[in-house]
Chain A
């Protein structure tokens, strides 16, 4: 009997830089939609950024996380550096923990990224409280919960292009 790899372990193609850029741009557009009044709306940029900094931290460096944070700060009218700091710390944590988290199937990964997302929200709230703002209420923590629920579909979508096999085969359905 032939020994094969377990079905969950597959050898992936490398991610393409233009696909990373495109996914981040789409996430940014989703974040810029006028959805402020919906508390359950996740921070799409945070979600995508967490995915890429976990998978591809060698090409998707911390500088990009910082730049995205600055863009989010300006676009959302937040204090400059508020998102930037949170995203940089998220990038570091995700890249450090990637060895462990990526061992798990996607469903369990979403439990592992939940503390990261909660941390991003908490950092932003703490830094604004230090600057003298009021506490915006616990409702703010609904959005990271939602983000971790969405981890499974989003991560699946983002990883899908890398599942494509290397050789062309016209008889294969996908």
Chain B
């Protein structure tokens, strides 16, 4: 018995068995996966790892950027001259309108005050350029070249010159992740410009969006424009979101199937602007007398607009 008690000499030390290591790391991966997908509890870890990956990403983008900037340089002078001429012409054309703008604004403010409407919030923004699109085939996300250091924060709406592009869903120290409108189940509360009817669009994950929960006989036509309704307190109201391209009415279903496509160049690269829009949200009115004391402000979930479900 005593011979078996001895440990073997340390000639062939091999560490734990590979299967044990495999099980350990697999369990760790699955735990991370669950924590991340279900509880969104690992933002700090993501930010930590992104400090390593950020420089690498910029390095990988470098050759492409150099090439495009090099060709730009040689084309620039002619293009600038053309631009200059075009801008001057445009300015001349816009001059009369501009002169009237101040007067129109004053008049508008006056009318709004008459209507006892609150003045629309002035929205500031920060321009950023899209670094690259995520390789993940399951989601529609892009990364911006601005981050925490530039004052971006989670939940900011992102627009381009034609409308809403998406929403900032993760902020890293030097970059930020934007979930596009077309990401699966990304919701935006909208209003049909023609009829004023409110609804919510949901991304389909294939570059299109869907207007859900509209009755079969709803007044929606192909070509209708949708703008943000501003009811969620995340997107400021009045920004173009999408255009209706297809309406299927089947009386077998309670709802019409309405496909819309985003107005903004959501799936292409370019410059975007993250809006700094912080409306003063009113506290929710208490539903019952008893619950009045415990009513906490609504928690904003990552990448979801929760309160937008009811049109």
The stretch from A4-12, A82-90, A108-116, A152-160 touching chain B is A82-90
Could you give, for residues 200-234 of chain B, a 1 whenever the CB lies within 8 Å of some chain A CB and a 0 otherwise? 00000100000000000000000000000000000
Q: Which residues of B contact A25 (CB under 8 A)?
A: 56
State in angstroms the CA–CA spacing of A30 and B147 once bound together.
24
Whether B205 contacts A85 by the Cβ 8 Å rule is no
Residue pairs across A and B with CB atoms within 8 Å: the count is: 118
A62-B25 CB under 8 A given contacts A76-B134, A79-B36, A134-B138: yes
Whether A81 contacts B22 by the Cβ 8 Å rule is no
- The reply on A34 being an interface residue by CB < 8 A is yes
Could you give, for residues 44-84 of chain A, a 1 whenever the CB lies within 8 Å of some chain B CB and a 0 otherwise? 00000000000000000111011001110111111111101
- The reply on B31 being an interface residue by CB < 8 A is yes
Interface centre among B36, B42, B132, B137 (most CB of A within 10 A): B137
Contact of A71 among B26, B52, B137 (CB under 8 A): B52
Q: Which residues of A contact B50 (CB under 8 A)?
A: 74-75
Q: Which residues of A contact B25 (CB under 8 A)?
A: 62-63, 65-66, 84, 88
Q: Which residues of A contact B139 (CB under 8 A)?
A: 77-78, 133
A85-B132 CB under 8 A given contacts A28-B56, A136-B137: no
Determine chain A's interface SS by DSSP, over half rule.
helix
- The reply on B276 being an interface residue by CB < 8 A is no
Contact of B134 among A69, A77, A82, A88 (CB under 8 A): A77
A74-B49 CB under 8 A given contacts A32-B60, A36-B133, A69-B29: yes
CB-nearest residue of chain B relative to A62?
A: B21
State in angstroms the CA–CA spacing of A18 and B141 once bound together.
34
- The reply on A131 being an interface residue by CB < 8 A is yes
CB-nearest residue of chain B relative to A132?
A: B37
Whether B56 contacts A82 by the Cβ 8 Å rule is no
CB-nearest residue of chain A relative to B131?
A: A34
- The reply on A21 being an interface residue by CB < 8 A is no
Q: Which residues of B contact A140 (CB under 8 A)?
A: 137
B residues neighboring A (CB under 8 Å): 18-19, 21-22, 25-26, 28-33, 35-37, 42, 45-46, 49-50, 52-53, 56-57, 59-61, 64, 132-139, 141, 143, 177, 184, 205
A residues neighboring B (CB under 8 Å): 25, 28-36, 61-63, 65-66, 69-71, 73-82, 84-85, 88-89, 92, 95-96, 127-128, 131, 133-134, 136-137, 140
